[in-house]
Amino acid sequence: MAYRLSIADELPTSVRACAREQLQGAIDQLDGGGGDDPATAIHEARKHLKKLRALLRLVRPALGEETYRRENDALRDAARQLSATRDADVLVATVEALARDAAGQLPASDFAALRDALAAEAAARRAQPAAATGDAEATATAVALELRDALARVEEWPLADSDWETVVASVTRAYARGRRDGRRAAELPTVEALHQWRKRVKDLWYHHRLLKPVWPDVISAYGEEAHVLSELLGDDHDLAVLRDRLVAGVALPPGAAADLTALLGLVDERRARLQADARRLGTRLYAESPKAFERRWRRWVEAAVADAGEEQPA
């Protein structure tokens, strides 16, 4: 089943089915669904958890704060347990991407030295959880057990009063927050402001994936552009983290050398381009006022629900 809500079903039924699918998907990965690649399995499990947290935000008003916070906190904590080495691995990938983008502007050996240093740090980080817990596999097993508990609670979610108006209100709220945070980031593009904007953009992307059945071609196209924007902002954030790491100092391998000042310049240039691209795309994605966005979505949902009713057998 795809990551989407069915227009043909009652909303509570569709929400529960989607939640179960994401939880079971994460559990399957942690139980060995990733085969011989534990890193990929953990990455896929974390993706399932991100999708489920976005679903929770979409139906937050219906769930109520107590249920929402309980489930969101449980999923957030589970994801954190699985992310011990993520930052270190992302730094390595960021250097590799920067090397491709800036090929010829610095000696390849500069990028290689930096990459090797960060890769060594990532390897050391991967060894730490095993030393602390005895086995990284034990962490995955423990998280899978927590997710099974969450799976059992899905049936208890208080969704009886939820309807498609709940969804319209939530997707509008996410849009309005993204529009506001985008303007703030444009006025003062701090690392934190851009990171907060990215969170809201990702909500918009996930919500459009969930609501694709309302008008598949149109919503899919808009959602994909939101995904592109989230990737631009994500790449910018990764470079900002790399910049902080360079400023703090990196212990290069023996005999290696790298012009860190020149590397910082390349990071800043790349970030400036990414932010400019993000602003241009954000202007288009957030062109409507929240009220206009809400009116449009309400009409789309009403039309989709009516069409689904007509297609049901008599």
Does residue 133 carry a pLDDT above 50? no
In a domain, 253, yes or no: yes
Show the DSSP H helices in the chain as ranges.
11-28, 38-58, 60-63, 65-81, 86-101, 108-133, 136-153, 164-187, 191-210, 216-248, 260-285, 290-311
In a domain, 46, yes or no: yes
The tens digit of pLDDT for each residue in 71-103 reads 999 999 999 988 866 777 889 999 999 999 998
In a domain, 5, yes or no: no
The tens digit of pLDDT for each residue in 182-240 reads 999 999 999 999 999 999 999 999 999 999 999 999 999 999 999 999 999 999 999 99
Q: How confident is the model at residue 313 (pLDDT cuts 50, 70, 90)?
A: very low
Please report, for the domain that includes residue 271, its CATH number: 1.40.20.10
Q: Which domain holds residue 223?
A: 11-311
Please tell me the distance from the alpha carbon of residue 240 to that of residue 62, in angstroms, as a whole number. 37
Q: Please, what is the Cα angle at 120 between 114 and 124, to 5 degrees?
A: 145
In a domain, 3, yes or no: no
In a domain, 6, yes or no: no
In a domain, 302, yes or no: yes
Q: Whole-model pTM? A: 0.91
- Work out how many domains the chain is built from and give that number: 1
Predicted pLDDT at 199: 96
In a domain, 2, yes or no: no
Instruction: Look up residue 262 and give its two tokens.
Output: 């020149």
Percent of the chain with pLDDT strictly greater than 90 = 70
Token match 């569709």: residue? 14
Does residue 253 carry a pLDDT above 70? no
Burial label for 49, CB within 10 Å (0-12, 13-18, 19+), is buried
Task: State CA 14 to chain mean position distance.
Answer: 22
Please tell me the distance from the alpha carbon of residue 70 to that of residue 17, in angstroms, as a whole number. 19
In a domain, 74, yes or no: yes
Please tell me the distance from the alpha carbon of residue 305 to that of residue 179, in angstroms, as a whole number. 28
Average pLDDT, integer, range 93-120: 90
